[in-house]
Amino acid sequence: MKNFKKVAAIAAAAAVVMSVGTKVSAETSVNAKLGFTDVNWTYQDWESAAEVTGDGTYTITSEAVAGTEEIGVFVIDLEGMFAEYPEAVATLDSVVIDGNEISFDADKILYGDIEEKGNFRIDIYNMYSPTKDEPPINNVTPITESLSVTFTVSGLGDAAEAAPAEEVVEEVEEAPVEEAPAEEEAPAAAPAVEETPAAATGNVGAMSLVSIMAIAAAAAIASRKTK
């Protein structure tokens, strides 16, 4: 009985822990990477990146492409975002070359999983895509110092809310265990007593009384005769 109560108390404590729930603490992280080369594949940058940790505006800057005379490929890939967050999107805000913002036709920018690799791509100009025939920017723009591209991500939500859950277990005091009351022993059964049948007892008493009366009567008669 005592062990049963202890098990019940532990189960109750576990139920309290389960009711506490979980907290979300890990961060969403999407790597946004620049893809750039000039038409001669002389000046390239496939490494410059920005870590996207939720909805917001981000900028990638590269000095490795300085020396470019004519842009061949100019894209931003948000790696895995299309596959993991299909509702999320990114839009181009600005392109800055050597500190000067250059114009672009927003309607000609291509967006989405263009290569079908699960990445979300911003295709600004690409000599291997439809943007070659309808360039969103003037790709014959020399870069002598640096290139910066700014974009805005939406649909990821706050980083803390979009992350996988991490279980938080809080300590719970074990419920006090009540000692089971001592079990009272049943009183021992009284020894069996043989009862003398009522009828037999009555007969024995009556017969004794008759015998005594008969002796007394005989004595009285004898006494009278003697006198």
For 6-21, what is each residue's pLDDT tens digit?
444 444 444 433 333 3
Backbone angles phi, psi at 110, to 5 degrees: -100, 140
| pLDDT for position 72 | 98
Averaged pLDDT score across all residues of the chain: 75
> How does 24-56 read in b/e, with b if 16+ C-beta sit within 10 Å?
eeeebebebbbbbbbeeeebbbeebbbebbbbe
Residue 92 has pLDDT above 50, yes or no: yes
| pLDDT for position 182 | 54
Residue 106 has pLDDT above 60, yes or no: yes
* Residue given tokens 């931003």 in the structure block: 76
- In angstroms, the CA 112 to CA 119 distance is 8
Residue 110 has pLDDT above 90, yes or no: yes
Asked if 206 and 198 touch (Cβ cutoff 8 Å), the reply is no
Is this prediction's pTM over 0.75?
A: no
Adjacent-strand bridge partners of 95: 102, 149
Residue 200 confidence class, pLDDT cut points 50, 70, 90 = very low
Least confident of 21-30, 31-40, 181-190, 196-205: 196-205
Helices then strands, each counted (H, E), the chain: 4, 12
How large is the average pLDDT for residues 102-128?
98
- In angstroms, the CA 34 to CA 164 distance is 27
pLDDT over 90 percentage in the chain: 56
Asked if 34 and 60 touch (Cβ cutoff 8 Å), the reply is yes
